[in-house]
Structure 1
């Protein structure tokens, strides 16, 4: 109901003022009619008296004018004394006695008029005197009410007396005007320009303004009660004073702080104003919506500037970040388990730019006080997501391949220090994962708690609020995961390209490496192709690094290795030039080439399976690739299954290769002297190696 009233308040106030003016006009009309009635009655009585005392027949004109003035009557003597007494009371400013005298004069005039003890002339004179003295007293009271020295009881007395004189609207206006003048006078002592911090000025101004409004409301209620017209005028006046004070706070405090991104200063000043304003609610004055409407742009500006500062600050640190993970500085480590950064106690290692991002997000979440009332929690959360998106882009640009692309395109993006080693590049993923898994979701929970506050004495409502937030949290998790996936995909794409292509742009994974095998007369020494050896070595190194960085998040490390393997195999599956040479020639794929290709794919399946990152998708793609190669050989007229060894042979060779590449094989009884992990193993010596190999 209150919201509805405030929504149509201007119309309500305008109608109330029109009714008040109409009441004043009706009162003036009543007085005018009373005066006219008295005049008409006096004229009638005068005519009646002349008819009762006509000149006698035969009398002369001299006789008619030859008489002495009669002695003044008792009522006429009272009238003279009354006028003199009233003038003395007004001169001495004895308001209560003057009011009593005026009331007595009106009663006496009515009685005399009723009993016809006053002549029309005397009655008219009495009425005029009372009206003039009332106006004079009203002017004196108005002048007294406007004096700065008139305070408290004196002001209420003067306003009350003015109301009793029948001029209530004027009395209420003077009451509010008096409080406004005192407010302006007291505000002269406030000096905002001399203070470096605006909280003290805001508190002093708010206390002065809202205490004045509270006093004006008390005086209005004491004198005029809860009459709608006067209550509406009081609310209108209070809104104007609140708006004026809010504009002063914005001009002297919020403007500069908001532009500089000082969200904490802005938030504290807004909270101070709202705190003092809330004290008026017990008096029926809900002025908080006025403050919120005026302060919202400043808070939005401060929030936006703060979010922008997060992007700029993290970007500046990223230009010098060595991408090594470390614990946060002792001074910046959050204390207690209930703080937003309590998660850092369990996974505290981040690079310097990520630590900076974390601390600045914590600062925003510590300053979220006015965001609840201003309904800016969603805006703050969306801004944090945008800041995280910018940070993800920075991390992507830190990958060597992204840096080269950026320089070629001339995109003009921020300068970022390149993550040269695999450890540094995986540290980029660790930064993104920790922020997305812990920091931002906890910030979202804190912000969403502001949107749906729960009460201690209402557990069912608290549970329903928590359930209502679940879809929002799931959507947030998905958005964060998509951003992390962008970094992960860029990481996998870069390392896949490093494996597939040489430094000078040549292709390591080509059809020629398989087709040319059948042109050699001697039987080859069977071992996985070098490109797949390199893929296995890279995945092994990354698995070791990830096991140290992703403690408690092994699933992410597994998915990372899975995606990297899939990226290489999918490139092979989609390489049209590779399959055109395999399927169309000019040289066909022979038995030895098919056997090597089959061995390479089985090798990938085996080490991915042992590393527990063989996905169903990866397994199916490899099977499809093998089937396509078999079909290419079958198209030449050969039966591919007759030229290939048994399945166990491929598994044995792949297992031996893994042992050799990891240094776990023992070849003491092998005919060939294997001196390095990259040496080949003859198909004839496979069984010997397997029988004597160390597990």
Structure 2
């Protein structure tokens, strides 16, 4: 049987969709009972799926039949509706024909009616039957609506202007301003308002180009909204400026000293462009010009706040440089705006003055701490030989801390001066020079603490014990004096020469730009006045040295004076030397010898500075005379009649 079936399969080829029995036997004859049961369950599931599919097909077919019936019914109803509309149209035509016929008959029967009555009838007829003019108005309004939908605003404005020119009723005159507007005019006003809103919305979009904004603003001006257009112009340029600033602010830490110049360029270029566009669009209208000035002042105030907020720490030289760059850049830009009628320099100075003075104050406080920081004297302070050589000559005769303090002082002042820009010096140079003289006075106080002897200043007396170094010997004290005089007479004038040159140039330039923006009274501090301030500090140091030098000689360690009046009352040896000039008393001879020794030391320490030596010796002599003139006990003893002054003593006093 198996052989016969195989022969039949060869004679009749199998169909792909039908599996032959032989193949089924070959596949499943090796299956177990469990496998056969599994196959049976799968076949049952397939049977259920086929039954469900057949049921779904039948239900969908029935739904399709119902839908077809509904379509047929709908077509029938539409046919009936067309017939009804046609019958209604015929009825309306018959009605209109009848009305017209009755009107003709009524007109013929009342042919002698007055013109006024005819006018009212024609008006009623016109209301019943729209005229050709009304049709044109409706078409025009529809045309405007289409232009508004398509955002063709320029064409809509041109169409409205043309319609207003051709229709006198659309123009509002002074005589009929209180009259009620017509329906057509109200419709045009409504569409005009819609057009204005579209223009305003477009201008406020951040992605709109500058050219499109200009076109929209000009369109608003054409619509008679000049004030609104100008306000939107300022707002638009202000928004663009704000976005530019926000994009730049994250970069400020990368440029701590020069970022104010970039901010100034952004702000003032925007102000210049806004003023230019305002003039082109609105002309020389003073009202709009004042609004531009007010807007520019507000932007400048915001600019100064931004500079302060993103500036480095106020006590650093970077902050001083940033403030100076801000003054230079902003004043240059504001001067460039003056030909456009924007005078903003005074406002800038008012806003920048507190900021710069605060930075200067904190920088000079830092400078004071740096000068007094003797523990950091080994820090690298590069000075050119021009500044270092005059001070290095005192290194052999004094403590190294003294020379280091002098170099630190000059380096600190020089570092501050180098941060200043031209216009900063023009407007704040006098203030800076005064601060330099005050800083030198503080430095002199430090040097006074290093000198031995008492002091009349209570504050200095309290700090005597905390002096970083002490000048005990004559050479050390003279080196200290020489350092102070060298700084005041040579080095500080060299450092401040740039400031004086700029201030003098500004003062001599009668019509210069810098003079117009420089505040009055800034250059009142003359060079001689500044030198007088320095000289006052030097005199304080020199007087302290002379006073302690003379007092140390006159008074012994136990507090007794070496210069007593008794030596001038003693007539011992008068007969021996009555014919010759007696020498000064022994204390004065000792003082003269001490001064001679001081002159010798000064010749070595203050080599090449003869002026200082002469002034110092003269002041020492004056100090002795002043001490004698103020010593009441000495003179009261001489004036005592019980012990008259002898001739020899009188000659000694005269020889002194």
TM-superposed CA distance for 1:170, in Å, is 0.8
Shift of 1:311: 2.5
Q: Which residue of 2 aligns with 1:80?
A: 138
Structure 1 match to 2:532 = 478
Deviations along 1:570-604, one digit per CA (max 9) or x if unpaired, are 4345433334444437555556xx26x745864xx
Per-residue Cα deviation, 1:524-544 (whole angstroms, up to 9, x for no partner): 998764423332222122222
The alignment status of 1:331 with 2:389, answered yes or no, reads no
Measure how far apart 1:410 and its partner are: 3.7
- Name the stretch that deviates more: 489-498 or 399-408: 399-408
The verdict on how the C-alpha distance between 1:268 and 1:548 changes in structure 2, with shifts beyond 3 A counting, is farther
Distance between the aligned counterparts of 2:487 and 2:434, measured in 1? 15
Q: Which residue of 1 aligns with 2:634?
A: 578
Kept in 2, the 8 Å contact 1:260–1:302? The answer is: no
**Matching residue of 2:353:** 296
Deviation (angstroms), 1:282: 4.5
Alignment-derived partner of residue 544 in structure 2: 490
Instruction: Say yes or no: does 1:387 pair with 2:445.
Output: no
1:27 alignment partner in structure 2: none
Separation in 1 of the partners of 2:235 and 2:601?
76
Q: The residue matched to 1:331 in structure 2 has which SS?
A: coil
Q: In structure 1, what is the Cα distance between the partners aligned to 2:212 and 2:568?
A: 109
- CA drift of 1:272 comes to 3.8
Paired with 2:268 and 2:118, the residues of 1 have a C-alpha distance of 77
Query: Normalised by the size of structure 2, how large is the TM-score?
Result: 0.68
Deviation per residue, 1:273-317 (Å, 9 max, x gap): 444555444533333333322221121011112222333222333
Q: Secondary structure at the match of 1:401?
A: coil
Number of aligned positions between the proteins: 520
Q: Does the aligned pair in 2 maintain the 1:501–1:507 contact within 8 Å? A: yes
**Shift of residue 413 of structure 1?**
8.6
Aligned to 1:422: 474
3-state SS in 2 of match to 1:332: coil
Aligned equivalents of 1:396, 1:273: Cα separation in 2: 44
Structure 1: any 5+ residue segments left out of the alignment? 1-49, 57-62, 115-120, 323-327, 336-340, 463-467, 603-621, 623-695
Deviation of 1:515 after TM superposition, in Å, equals 4.3
Measured in 1, the distance between the counterparts of 2:331 and 2:563 equals 69
Alignment of 1:235-274 (within 5 A): 235-253=293-311, 256-258=313-315, 262-274=319-331
- Counterpart in the other structure of 2:32: none
Q: 2:616 matched to 1:560?
A: yes
Give 1:178's match in structure 2, choosing from 214, 218, 236: 236
- Secondary structure in structure 1 of the residue aligned to 2:248: coil
| Correspondence 1:233 to 2:285 | no
> Could you say what secondary structure the match of 1:503 adopts?
coil
Work out whether residues 203 and 273 of structure 1, in 8 Å CA contact, stay in contact via their aligned partners in 2. Answer: yes
Match of 1:52 in 2: 115
What does the per-residue CA deviation read over 1:179-237, in whole Å, with 9 as the maximum and x for residues that have no partner?
Answer: 22223333332344872642354344333333333332233222212211112212211
Aligned twin of 2:367: 310
Asked if 1:503 corresponds to 2:560, the answer is no
Q: CA RMSD in A?
A: 4.4
**1:36-435 correspondence runs (5 A):** 52-54=115-117, 72-110=130-168, 124-192=182-250, 195=253, 197-199=255-257, 201-253=259-311, 256-258=313-315, 262-317=319-374, 331-333=382-384, 349=393, 351-369=403-421, 372=424, 375-402=427-454, 410=462, 415-435=467-487
| Conserved 8 A contact 2:391-2:483 | no
SS in 2 for 1:584: coil
Q: Name which one, 1 or 2, has greater alpha-carbon Rg.
A: 2
Question: Which residue of the partner structure matches residue 505 of structure 2?
Answer: 453
CA shift at 1:512, angstroms?
A: 3.4
* TM-score of the pair, normalised by structure 1: 0.65
In the aligned structure 2, how far is the partner of 1:309 from the partner of 1:64? 98
Structure 1 residue 565, shift from structure 2 partner:
2.6
Structure 2 vs 1, CA of residues 55 and 305 (structure 1 numbering), >3 Å: closer, same or farther?
closer
Change (3 A) 1:55 1:529: closer
Q: In the TM superposition, what is the alpha-carbon distance from 1:138 to its structure 2 partner?
A: 0.8
Given that residues 199 and 265 in structure 1 are in contact (C-alpha distance below 8 angstroms), is that contact kept between their aligned partners in structure 2? yes
SS of the residue 2:117 aligns to: coil
Kindly state the Cα deviation for residue 396 of structure 1 after the two structures are TM-superposed.
2.0
